[in-house]
Chain A
Amino acid sequence: MPRLPTDRLTRKNKGAPFKAPLVVSGKSGNALHVHALEARAARLGLYKGQPLANARAMVQPLSILPADEKADAALLEAIADWCDRFTPLVSLDPPDGLLLDITGAAHLFGGESAMLVHVTGLIAKQGFVIRSAIAGTSLAAHALARFAPAIVPAGCEAAAVAPLPITALDCDDKILRALRHAGLKTVGTVAERLHSELSERLGKSFVTRLKVMLGAEEQPLTPRRALPDLMAERHFAESVVTRDAIAAALLGLAQSFSEILEREGRGARILESVFFRADGKVDRIAIKTGEPLRDPKIIMRLLNQKLETLADPLDPGFGFDLVRLEALLAEETKPGTISFDHDENARRQIAFLIDRLSVRFGEHRVQRFMPQDTHIPEAAGAAVPAQDRDLAPENWTLKRRPGDPPRRPLRLLQKPEEVSAMASVPDGPPMRFRWRQCLHEVVRAEGPERIAMDWWRRSVGESRSDHQKSAGLTRDYFRVETSNGQRLWLYRDGLYRDLGQNTRWYLQGLFA
C-alpha cells in the first residue's frame, strides 16, 4: 500500500478527498521533507523524500499534514488482523506492506489470481491504493509488488525479478552504491555474477537475500501471532448478529474440532475463538485449560462463561461474517476417554472446576501454593495459577517441632504494618504496642527468631550496609500473645547493635 499515510488521512476525512493535493510531511533532522503523497500530488511532479520547501514552491495550494507513523503502523496492524481471515500466516512488512502466506489457502478462494482480485478488491474498496503480487518467496513478492505487480508461477521468480532495478533488492545505500559502481543496474545482471564474488565484496547476507529473491532459497515469514495447531472456521454468506446464531456456529466448530482431536488423540490446552466483524474489526477470546480438552460441551461451557464475563462484551456491530476456533496449543491425551477410576474422575472434575473459575475470574485469581527455597516469610510460599499443571506439587516442611504450637502465622499482612512498640530490654520482645490505633498488652512472647535477608546474594563489592538498604535489614521475629489472647507476629527491623534506638517494629502476621 504505497500511499498508506495519505489514504489513512483521506479515510479519516470521511473519504472525501482534500481540496488541494495532499502531502504528508516528515521530519528528518531539522528539515521537513515529503513523507508520503497522493497520486494527484505525484502527477504534479512531487516525489517522496523531496524537501517540503521545494514541494511548496512547485505546487500551490497544497494540503500538508504531519506524518503520524504510529497511527500508520496501527492501521497496518488492523489491516493485518483483517487479513487473518484469508490465512493464519500474515506478517507485517513495514512500513506499508503485508505478506500473506497463501500456501494451501488459495484454492479456497478459487485459485491464486481469483484470491488476489478478491483480497485487493476488498482493500481497495476501503479506499486504499494497493499494489500486489504473488510469488514463491516473500522477498520476490515484496519487490514485485512495488516495482512490477504480477502473479509469478512457482519456479519463475528469477525471470520475473531480473528486469527490476537494483533498488528492488532493498539493501542499504552502501551496497547499492557498490553495485552501481560495478555497473550493475538490474537484479538480473547482479544475479549473473558469481555468488562467491558477490559474497566476497558485499557480504554473505546479501547473497542470501539475492537467492531468496530469485526463488532459489526459502525464507519463512515471521507470523504475527503463534500459528494454531488446529483451526476450524465458518463463513457466513450473511453476517450473523444474534447470540444464538453465534453460539450455534461455535458449537458446530467445537464439534468438528472434537472429532479431529479425538482422531489424533489430542486435546486443546489453549483455545481461541476469533470473531471477524463485517466491518473489519477482529475480536479474539482465548481460554486456557489445565487439562487437554476436546468435549464440545465443555468447550462451549467455558467459552460461554468467558463471553458472559467479558469486561466489554462482544459487540457484533453489523454482524460477524466469519467465526473461527483455533487450538493454539494441543496436547496428547492419554487414551481411554472414560475412566471408571474414582480418583481419576475426581481429579478431572476438580481440574474442570478450576478451569471454569480461571476462565471466569482470570487465571491469576485461582491459585495454589508452591514452597520456595527461602526463609524470608513473605516469599516462602508462592501462589501460582492453579491451572498450571507443569508444576508438580511439592512437599512442604514443617517449621515447628512435632507437638509444638504453630511457628508461622496463618495469615500474612500484604505489607508489614509499622507499630509503635515498647520493649523492656533493647533486644527483648515488646511489652506493649499500638497497632491500628489499638493498644495491645503483650502477655506472652516467644523469640527472637532471627531472619537475615539473603546476604549471600550480596554482589561483589557491595558493602553490608548497601546491601541492607536494597534487600532489607535483619529481622528479629517475636510471637506474642496479647492480654485478650490474640496471637500476632511482630518483628524488629534491624539489630539494636547496628541501629540503637532507631529500630522500628512491624506487625506481619496473625496467628490463629
Chain B
Amino acid sequence: MNNTAKIAELRHILARYGLPPDRAPVALGHAQADAVLGGGLRPGSLHEVFAQEWSGGGFAAALAVRMTGAKPLFWVRPDYEALEYGAVSPNGFLELGGDPRQLIQVRARKPDDALSAAADILGCPHVGALLLELGGMPKCLDLVASRRLAFAANESGVTVILLREGANVEPSAALTRWQVASAPSRADDDDWGNPVFDASLVRHRAGGLGHFLMQWNPEHAVFKTHPGAVVAAPAHRPAYPQEQRRAI
C-alpha cells in the first residue's frame, strides 16, 4: 500500500473517530416491513411489542434472535409472567431458531427489579439484545422509565425488545411499537406450518406504519412474507384506530 492510500485511510478513520458507531438497520426479511422500517429494525433502540393473548412471546423472541446476532441475549422477566405465560424453554428457543447457549435468563421478583436489571444489562455494549417481558401495567414502567431504557439502549447499542402482555398502549419512548396476534399458519391445508404473526406496526418514530402478515422461518431466523395471506392487509387505511397512533 502506498503512502497516499494509507493517509487517506487514516483520514477516514479519524473522521469517524469519537462518533457513535453507525448502526445499520437489521433487515427482518419481510420485504414490505423492511421497506416501511427503512431497511430493517434499528439496533440500539427500544422496540415495544404489545401481545394479544399468548402469541407475542414468539414474535418478541424472534425479533430478539434476529437482533442479537452472535452476542448474548438476555431475557428478563418478573416471576409472575412465568406463571401466567410460561417460562422460556431452551428447547423451544432452539426450535425457533435461537441458540440456547447465548440465552441468559434473569428472573426478577417484581417489575421494579426487572427494570433495574435491564438498566445494568443495557450498560454493557457486549450484550446483543435484551428481551424485557412485563405483564400488565406496572406502575414503575412510566414514561420516564421508558425514556431511560431508550437512552441506555442508544448509548450502548443494545437493542431492547419490550414485550408487554395484557397491557394497554400508553405513551412511551419506543422507536417502534408493534401489536401482534397469531395468525393461522396455512390457509388451505391441514398441515401445521411455521408460525405466522399478524403484526401491526402502530407507531414508528422514523417512518411509516403498516400491517403485515409475517411468517417466521426458524431455519434461517428470518421473517418471510406469508405465502397464502388469510386476510388482506389494509393498505389504504390504518390498521388501528387513529387515537392509538397519537401516543408520543
Contacts and interface: CB of A to CB of B under 8 A. Distances in A.
Given A398-B95, A414-B86, A485-B181, A349 B124 contact: yes
B167 interface: no
B120 A356 contact: yes
Interface in B38-83: 53-55, 57-59, 61-62, 71-72, 82-83
Contacts of A346: 71, 126
A396 B85 contact: no
Given A403-B219, A512-B61, A444 B104 contact: no
A486 B94 contact: no
Contacts of A396: 90-91, 94, 99-101
Interface stretch (B26-34, B137-145, B194-202): B194-202
B243 interface: no
A511 B57 CA distance: 9
Contacts of B218: 400, 405-406
Interface string A393-416: 100101110110111111111100
Interface string A267-303: 0000000000000000000000000000000000000
A510 interface: yes
B120 to A, nearest CB: 6
A412 B127 contact: no
Contacts of B103: 368-369
Interface in A479-508: 479, 481, 483-488
Interface in A299-335: none
B221 interface: no
B108 A361 contact: yes
B192 A512 contact: no
A510 B100 contact: no
Interface in B72-122: 72, 82-83, 85-96, 99-101, 103-109, 113, 116-117, 120-121
B106 A410 contact: no
Interface stretch (A23-31, A59-67, A92-100, A378-386): A378-386
A509 B92 contact: yes
A365 B74 CA distance: 12
A371 interface: yes
B183 interface: yes
Interface string B172-208: 0000000001111110001111111110000000000
Given A408-B95, A410-B57, A510 B85 contact: yes
Given A361-B108, A366-B106, A381-B91, A481 B192 contact: yes
A412 B92 contact: yes
A155 interface: no
Given A405-B194, A410-B61, A361 B117 contact: yes
Q: Is the interface of B mostly helix, strand, loop or mixed?
A: mixed
B216 interface: yes
A512 B62 contact: yes
A485 B55 contact: yes
B72 A414 contact: no
Contact of B100 (A369, A403, A488): A369
B100 A381 contact: yes
A377 interface: yes
A511 B92 contact: yes
B89 A411 contact: yes
A485 B184 contact: yes
Nearest to A488: B54
A214 B105 CA distance: 59
Given A396-B90, A509-B89, A485 B57 contact: no
Nearest to A393: B101
A410 B93 contact: yes
5 contacts: A346-B71, A353-B124, A396-B94, A485-B198, A511-B92
Report, nearest first, the 5 A-B pairs whose CB atoms are least far apart.
A512-B58, A411-B86, A381-B90, A406-B95, A485-B182
Given A381-B91, A510-B57, 17 more contacts: A345-B126, A360-B117, A361-B109, A365-B108, A369-B90, A369-B100, A371-B90, A371-B91, A386-B104, A399-B95, A405-B192, A405-B218, A410-B96, A411-B92, A444-B191, A484-B181, A485-B184
